[in-house]
Structure 1
Amino acid sequence: MSVAPEQLTLDLDGFEGPLDLLLSLARAQKVDLREISILHLVEQYLAYVDEARVLQLELAADYLVMAAWLAYLKSTLLLPRDPEVEPDPEDLALRLQLRLERLDAMRDAGARLMARDRTGRDVFTRGAPEGLHVTRKAFWSVEYYDLLAAYGRATARSRPVLHVVRDREVVTLEAALARLSALLGTAVDWQAIEGFLPEVRSAGLRRSALASSFLAALELARQGRAELQQEAPFAPLYLRRPTA
């Protein structure tokens, strides 16, 4: 009988051959397990595991299950067994055989699955049809004025807004305050505010001088350095030096 090189072959007292054959004969009660040395079996199994640890660790694990079942079957022969507590060794052996057959079937199915052609490596799917490619080109027909108007609107949206204040001549509050303080010292009676304005050439500068002089008069009245009088709303405003 030819033996595969990766198969565990035992040489025991009363048996010589593969481990799975010994397990099958032990189940069929065609070999006397009392004559089999479990110690020799374990020693030969450990030597096999040291050699096949890197190459086929799964196969060594299967043989470990077989050897464990052999040890269990021999223990059931040597030790008394309670049929109500422990299961029948024949039933356990049959379950083990079914599980090993299921494991072999799963391995065969996995090997067949991995051996099939793979998409992208062995076979390639047909691509979807590209269809008709349409290239569209737009032709614009505009007048020169329309082009300039569109450019103006585009630049107006992106152009930053600048507010430039035109320089103009004004009469500052400090100048009006100094002028009113000096003129009130010479005024004896009530005098309209227009009499304290400087002589200016433009109407805009005159309005600025009037506004500055009005604020200066309010500031002097707050400080107690001037008295104000106005008979009605929007009537002429009069100033004089405090009598006290």
Structure 2
Amino acid sequence: MTDDTLTLDLDGWEGPLDLLLALARAQKVDLREISILALVEQYLGYVDQARALRLELAADYLVMAAWLAYLKSALLLPRDPEVEPSPEELALRLQLRLERLNAMREAGARLMARDRVGRDVFKRDAAEGLRTVRKARWQAEIYDLIAAYGRISARTRPVMHVVADRQVMTLEAAIARVSALIGQAIEWRTIEAFLPDDDGPLRKSALASSFVASLELARQGRVELRQHAPFAPLYLRAPA
């Protein structure tokens, strides 16, 4: 039983245009200077020799053969000015297509000739990198340790505010004392003369309270005040 499917193994050829390129190269001239007529003769002769392969089933090759036969006849016969495009333009287009195909095949050949990964060159394994080990190094003096302990202890210790009991003179007591002593003072006397004979903590409280008491008694008209300058001694006496 015969198989009607046509199988062509043409050493890497993929179609009639590749066959034309191979035949053009056989002329051993620049593709821009090839003879289109000689190329057509070679192609048609190749088709005639391939009849044993039942080439009539390869439509692409037969279409190209018919087109080349038309191009050959157009180039040999006188040109018809009404036919567009002209045979010379068709031949130029074919020549440009062959040049483009040749450039593509050469680029492909150069690409495939380069070194291949896994065959000619091998990738280097990825770098493992450097592991960073961090260690804390504390530097502190005795003052820093005590201050840190104090801050932590202050946060955890319950807050207690203790007011120390101290001896003070109230305003009422100062008014009573100044009122009692002012009746005995006819001349001007400093406010220190109305303080108790105590050099301890009570003297500061007595001075402040006596000063306020003097202002209150002066407001009531029960005492007269005199001071020559700011921050100068304050004098008191009974009203004249």
**TM-score of the superposed pair, with normalisation by structure 2:** 0.43
Whose radius of gyration is greater, 1 or 2?
Answer: 2
The higher relative CO (CA closer than 8 Å, separation ≥ 6) is in 2
Q: TM-score, normalised by structure 1?
A: 0.42
